[in-house]
Amino acid sequence: MINIVLFGKPGAGKGTQAEFLKEKYSLKHISTGDLFRFHKSNNTELGQLAQSYADKGMLVPDDVTIKMLQDEVERDPDTKGFLFDGFPRTKAQAEALDVFLWSKGWKVDATVALEADDEVLIKRLLERGKTSGRPDDQDEDKIRVRYQEYNEKTAPLMDYYAKQGKFHSVDGIGDIAQITHRLSSVIDTLN
C-alpha cells in the first residue's frame, strides 16, 4: 500500500493531477473538496457545518474534516493506497491522519506540494469560477483569505513532513502533462 498526500494552494492543480495519478497508480482518490460537496449537496449535518465555514472563506474545522475523511477511508479498506487531496491542511490534521493510518497498520509514504505563484493561481481560480459556479472562486478577496489561511495553517506542514523525510516540492506551473511527469518522478522513487 502507498499513501500520498497531495497539497498546494487552491488552484494549484491538485484535483486535475489527482485524476491522472489515481489511474496510473491505482489509488483511491480522496478529495476533501469532493467530500465537502457531497455532504453539502446531501444536506448532511457535517455538510451544513462545513458550508457555514466555506461561506466565510475559512477552512473547515479539523474535527469535521477528519470525520468525513475517516468515513471515506473505511469504505475502501482493500485499496492499493490512498491519494489524499486537500488533507491534511494543518499539523493537527496531519497528526490525526498519522494516528488513524497507524491504527490500520498504514502510514503516509510521501507528501507532494504543487508550488505556484499566488497571482498565477488567483487568475486560474477566477477563470475557473466563470464556469464552475463556485462562489469561492469568483471573489478575489475570498481567494486571498483562503491563501492567508493556507500560509498560516498548511505551509507549516512542509516542515512537519520534511522532518520525516516525506516532503517533496513540485513545480505546478506548465502544461498538465509536464506537471504529471514531475509528480510521477517523485512517486516512482517510493516503489
For residue 191, is it within any domain? no
Rounded Cα distance, 167 and 142, in Å: 28
For residue 18, is it within any domain? yes
- Residues 6 or more apart whose CB falls under 8 angstroms from that of 24 comprise 184
CA 188 and chain centroid, separation: 20
- The three cell numbers of residue 123 are 487568475
Structural domains in the chain (count): 1
Q: Which residues of 15-27 are buried (b: 16+ CB within 10 A; e: fewer)?
A: bebbbbbbeebeb
CATH number, domain containing residue 154: 3.40.50.300
Active site residues: 14, 89, 128, 134, 146
- Cα angle vertex 149, ends 148, 151, to 5°? 65
- The three cell numbers of residue 149 are 489561511
- For residue 54, give its domain range: 2-186
For residue 165, is it within any domain? yes
Is the pLDDT at 183 greater than 80, yes or no?
A: yes
* Structural contact between residues 20 and 127, judged by C-beta atoms closer than 8 angstroms: no
For residue 124, is it within any domain? yes
Residue 35 region, left (φ>0) first, then alpha (ψ -120 to 50), else beta? Answer: alpha
For residue 176, is it within any domain? yes
* Residues 5-41: tens digit of each pLDDT: 998 888 898 888 999 999 999 999 998 878 888 888 9
For residue 33, is it within any domain? yes
For residue 44, is it within any domain? yes
For residue 174, is it within any domain? yes
* Residues 68-84: tens digit of each pLDDT: 898 889 888 889 999 99
Q: How confident is the model at residue 50 (pLDDT cuts 50, 70, 90)?
A: confident
